[in-house]
A = this chain, B = another copy of it.
Amino acid sequence: MSEILVVGSLAYDSIQSPEGKVDRTLGGSANYFSLAAHHFSKVRVVGVVGNDYGDDDLQMLRSRGVDTEGLQIVDGKTFHWEGKYEGDMNEAITLNTELNVFEHFNPKLPESYKNTPFAFLANIDPILQMEVLGQIQSPKLVASDTMNFWITSKKNDLLQVLQKVDLLVINETESILLTEEQNAVAAANKILQMGPKAVIIKRGEYGFVMKMGDDFFALPAYPIAKVKDPTGAGDSFAGGLFGYLASKNEPMTFENLKQACIRGAVVASFTVENFGVTPLKELTSEMLDKRMNQYLKMVTL
């Protein structure tokens, strides 16, 4: 089984949506990513949590084969995010962010992680993304995500990261912010001039567009009539796609990226069906396979 390293946040989230609310539920990009990716590849996590982090939450990852040696447990409180969704379920409104132990996070890879062939730099400070990248010995494939905060506050650092990654996975609004283009199509063209060989732009319920070289591919999301909580859908998409890509263990091609995007879309469709990581914890390979077949039927001529 191929090995992936992911660096990102582990968090407790408080989330409100028209469908209900939850308080201090497990979240964070690294958790969503790992719970999506482990279906396809072996995941190694790099991140930091406080001493309030639940042992059961750690065990939950480990029981799925996720390596947590790279997880620092330090004095203090775990990263906390509070947000809500109103009307437009594609866009979260942040009510409160407490960085807590994440504020002084200094990623340090265990020796056993340094030869990981596939690396995913989830949405964290681009300076930290670069530091992680510097500790991996000649990775086969590197992908990254980012967000509006880093685009506006650390654009130069972010542009340096983009020079080093093979694939950027980014939200649509952030792709437009980053490139100052009109839409995702134009943004994809411009991002390919910034360094990455391929880009995947995530569009929430509208699916994704992917571009590699001159080749373009796009599909809508798997249709979900009742979205309860979109939090983590993008990270689940990235986990499914990168987990699949790594499992092929071959150079990235337009064809295997297409297949990877499909897996990402299918995993993400489960995430939004309930709050937090609950749907991903319950997800089985059989459920994945079944929905993938349904999805293919809905988008195939």
Binding site for B on A (CB under 8 A): 18, 89, 181-186, 189, 203, 205-207, 209, 216-220, 223-227, 258-259, 262, 296, 298-301
Q: Given the known A-B contacts A206-B203, A220-B206, are A301 and B298 also in contact in the complex, defined by CB atoms under 8 Å? A: no
Q: Is the CB of B296 within 8 A of A217?
A: no
Q: Is the CB of A185 within 8 A of B223?
A: yes
Distance of A27 Cα from B225 Cα, bound (Å): 35
Distance of A181 Cα from B227 Cα, bound (Å): 11
Q: Could you tell me the distance in whole angstroms from the C-beta of A161 to the nearest C-beta in chain B? A: 25
Q: Is the CB of B219 within 8 A of A223?
A: no
**8 nearest CB pairs, A to B:** A206-B206, A185-B223, A186-B225, A218-B220, A185-B225, A216-B298, A220-B220, A217-B298
Distance of A298 Cα from B212 Cα, bound (Å): 12
With CB as the reference atom, state the residue of chain B lying closest to A205.
B183
- Copy number of this protein in the oligomer? 2
With CB as the reference atom, state the residue of chain B lying closest to A221.
B218
Distance of A206 Cα from B299 Cα, bound (Å): 14
Distance of A237 Cα from B296 Cα, bound (Å): 24
Contact of A301 among B189, B226, B300 (CB under 8 A): B300
With CB as the reference atom, state the residue of chain B lying closest to A90.
B183
Additional 5 contacts, C-beta under 8 A, given A183-B205, A183-B225: A185-B224, A186-B225, A189-B225, A218-B220, A299-B299
Distance of A189 Cα from B225 Cα, bound (Å): 9
With CB as the reference atom, state the residue of chain B lying closest to A220.
B218
Contact of A219 among B182, B185, B262, B299 (CB under 8 A): B299
Residues of B within 8 A of A18 (CB): 182
Distance of A85 Cα from B185 Cα, bound (Å): 18
Q: Could you tell me the distance in whole angstroms from the C-beta of A266 to the nearest C-beta in chain B? A: 13
Q: Is the CB of B186 within 8 A of A226?
A: yes
Q: Could you tell me the distance in whole angstroms from the C-beta of A2 to the nearest C-beta in chain B? A: 22
Q: Is the CB of B219 within 8 A of A220?
A: yes
With CB as the reference atom, state the residue of chain B lying closest to A300.
B301
With CB as the reference atom, state the residue of chain B lying closest to A176.
B87
Q: Is the CB of B227 within 8 A of A223?
A: no
Q: Is the CB of A218 within 8 A of B223?
A: yes
Q: Is the CB of B299 within 8 A of A227?
A: no
